Chains A and B, each alone.
Chain A
């Protein structure tokens, strides 16, 4: 084990995988930075969140491609190259901007395999920093993973700690399908123990972070961290929870969800998305359809409200689900008669 940040874990995987496989390339805006600058420093940033640091000096500009601001072509180019024998890792600087690339993601990359009758492979990874909490306003703070999860042909990964970031990114890069990889911006600097050496986590395998018989909390991304805090508080009140970190929302670990629901009968889904067509509503629907006989209470959903992410500190704080709102939702479900 080595202690490192979420950012460092991701960076290490990119280095290791690019060294292992020469058909991997990365592309995105400012992933190195400094091109065309006047200082002569060819690597000026290593990505605005530093995740791609050091790749350019090591692997060169042919495989570490700083791009113009052209999201649709960043994804499309990576998809095209991946269709033609390479493995592209595209970075979209903020998840909000996948909207500019949705044609290439949804209509192209996601559908090649199917439309070719199983002949095409498009081993593409699209990395997207997402999420609220940094006062970046309505166009730089959205979660977006609900949209991606809904698309047949795309896989959706949302790691919540550095070890999972390592295991899941390695799997994503080696996977033969298009994968969209969500990294919460507030998590980059957090430190965790990370297994040394090669480490892969299969998709569709949730992690059960703690166990309890009273309620099931299902969460993904940064919401897992908040749920962990709620769990600690609830434990002191005598409420013991299963906490399920989904890790990948497509594919989704249905068995782990249903096993827990069968045990507790009381469920809360915590999701940073806005409520309509969210993962919370999707999972609540899944449980209602497949675990109905186990349920002792309506499935609780903790989400952001049906509004854009506000800028002002106080509003943004109130906007995102937090340990207090999660704990309140758990109490409500647990006390339901």
Chain B
């Protein structure tokens, strides 16, 4: 099955994927300058998953993300300028610089947050799906999850709970082959994640996460199921990451040319181009123009983040609660 998508939609999907790619490639370079603090986990290589999933969603649908969250944010519509400012720890960032790369969220866009705790998103996504179910408007809650998180008890509980309460939750599981420095073939007992999710009674599809169209088609089927009130689902995506676990990871656990080969053979952008240009009425020139737009946007995002004001110290103790009356000692 290959679902028909309009030219407009395909161009938008390409723009999203390219934006994620360039955002991450640029961060990779900027982090080496030392200007960006903390832990940054890049999503390059996995773009087709975030975009193939989020192309089906609007801002009413809810997603829960991971420590590797930039791609999910961009695909769900977070402002790239505000995201970059957050990663630079600036006042203009989506979280006023208080969250950082691992904690970007934008509730207006239905993006409930990246997450520093592996597996914590599972229960939260079921909660988002519960909220959607109670509203009865066909919305869904999506849990993006790395294959490493699939070994957390909380994720097992979340899948079971979703089934028990018949929540419109979809677990989008991204197998990029590693959790930090450990391979999936070691850490995921039984290896077959689709079998696990199916074991919980989730309607499950497994497909190539480096192929936008495959992701899009798989999600179409699952989201129909979930939106119609037929219960939770899981999509298992085989994908790859082009960088280390976090920036600075020497990746001794990976074969020397693994990334090079994956960049050559499993690059979702190249696959997308090769597929749409001859048959979808899309020209190379149109895609090149998008590339140029995206690069300009990323340039602007970095420039604006650099120029943005530091978060004032008064912010340190603000936003802990909605309201909190206490005399300072």
Contact = CB atoms under 8 A, between A and B. Distances in A.
A291 interface: no
A33 B253 contact: yes
Interface stretch (A37-45, A144-152, A218-226, A259-267): A37-45
Given A36-B182, A139-B102, A41 B316 contact: no
Contact of A315 (B178, B179, B316): B316
Contacts, number: 167
A188 to B, nearest CB: 15
A183 interface: no
- Please classify the interface of chain A as helix (H, G, I), strand (E, B), loop, or mixed, using the class held by over half of its residues: loop
Contacts of A135: 37-39, 89, 100
B118 A314 contact: no
B254 interface: yes
B255 interface: yes
Interface of A: 29-30, 33-41, 44-45, 48, 66-73, 96-97, 100, 134-140, 305-308, 310-315, 318-319
Given A137-B39, A307-B320, A68 B151 contact: yes
B38 A315 contact: no
Contacts of B100: 135, 137, 311-312
Listed from nearest, the 5 A-B pairs whose CB atoms lie closest are A36-B183, A36-B186, A37-B253, A311-B100, A33-B181
A69 B253 contact: no
A137 B38 contact: yes
Interface residues of B, number: 51
A317 to B, nearest CB: 9
Nearest to B86: A311
A137 B104 CA distance: 11
B65 to A, nearest CB: 13
B255 to A, nearest CB: 4
A36 B187 contact: yes
A41 to B, nearest CB: 5
B145 to A, nearest CB: 11
B103 interface: yes
A312 B183 contact: no
Given A38-B254, A39-B252, A315 B313 contact: yes
B182 A33 contact: yes
Contacts of A139: 102-103, 115-117
B8 interface: no
A94 B189 CA distance: 24
A36 B188 CA distance: 10
B103 A138 contact: yes
A71 B152 CA distance: 8
Contacts of A45: 180-181, 252-253
